[in-house]
Amino acid sequence: MPDESWTILKLLQWTTSYFEERSVAEPRTSAEVLLAHVLRQDRLFLYLNYDRPMETRELSAFRECVKRRAAGEPSQYITGTQEFWSLPLQVSPDVLIPRPETELLVEAVLEFVRGNNAIRTNLRILDLGTGSGAIAIALAKEMSTAEIVAIDLSTAALRLARENAHRHKLGGRIHFVRGDLLAGIPVCAEGFNVVVTNPPYVSQTEFQRLPREIRNHEPRHALDGGPDGLAVISCIVKEAPGLLRPSGGLFLEMGAGQSGIVSKQVARNKQYRYSYILRDYSGLDRVLVAEKS
Ligand SMILES: C[S@@+](CC[C@H](N)C(=O)[O-])C[C@H]1O[C@@H](n2cnc3c(N)ncnc32)[C@H](O)[C@@H]1O
């Protein structure tokens, strides 16, 4: 039944100021994303239908979403979806919400592979800590011949990653494996051309300072990199050469302020030939690329 007192525009205005009062991040965007989700439309539909009255059942579904968002839950967990590399992915509180800056890792891997004719055939890629499968799925979409292994410690994350891969018709091209970092890699002498990873890299002090939206809702094991944030990164830097083929590349996302120490770890390790750092769109050091000798 339409409720004439609430149109799309009126509801968006009311919800935006309600979110503002409750210090919800991106109040107008959150209101639009949630309303589009409830109406099963995209956000453009809202702009083109400002005067459309809401149905009673739509209002009550929307009210539930607004309550959850006002309590700090990320919109992506409420709608169950996030785009990465322009691909819609399912997300849940079992996985980190893929971030736009992680697309830099995908770009860097693609550039490395495209600039290196010798590795285009029999290309093997390892995604460590795959979460929702974002990186593995983006790379599989871009490189139809690549064989990809994706590892995570979390069974629930792997279940979701498999569903995402299946949804994008890549189920047969990515091998999802449960394991603790490099110990999860199936034994094989072949090695990988690329090890790509967005590991947990937040220090315990930084974790306490994260916005409540992240701290209370995203999985801690996806973020917490130990006392100084470097526990997982250091292990990967040390162990990755053992899995890389000669001239293979390690592509590692890290936190702001970690590039100096991670570069030194790589420089001290004689198994790497060279490394360099890529900055994200905010100008922060974000990705380390290191090539094995
Ligand atoms: C920062 S999230 C990255 C998720 C995804 N790759 C992305 O970029 O959106 C880190 C992931 O590493 C996984 N992880 C943490 N410790 C791990 C370990 N010791 N072995 C394997 N995976 C681990 C977490 O479960 C989580 O999915």
Residue having the nearest C-alpha atom to atom 27 of ligand 1? 131
Task: Kindly tell me the sign of the dihedral angle through the C-alpha atoms of 21, 24, 28, 32.
Answer: negative
Whether 291 and 240 have beta carbons less than 8 Å apart is answered as no
Record the tokens describing residue 56, joined without a space.
């009673």
Task: Look up the pTM and report it.
Answer: 0.94
CA distances from 41 to 14, 54, 79 (A): 20, 13, 12
Per-residue model confidence as pLDDT tens digits over 173-196: 999 999 998 776 765 668 999 999
* Ligand 1 pocket, CB under 6 A: 95-96, 98, 102, 129-132, 134-135, 151-154, 157, 180-181, 198-200, 221-222, 232
Residue 209: closest CA among 256, 152, 253, 279: 256
Is the CB of residue 207 less than 8 Å from the CB of residue 258?
no
Domains of the chain: 2-79 (1.10.8.10), 83-292 (3.40.50.150)
Which residues, at least 6 apart from 282, have a Cβ–Cβ distance to it below 8 Å? 101
pLDDT tens digits for 253-286? 999 899 999 999 999 999 999 999 999 999 999 9
| Predicted confidence (pLDDT) at residue 223 exceeds the cutoff of 90 | yes
Average pLDDT in the chain = 95
Q: Is the pLDDT of residue 21 over 90?
A: yes
What pLDDT sits at residue 122?
85
Six token digits for residue 85 = 């590399």
Ligand 1 center to 128 CA (angstroms) = 7
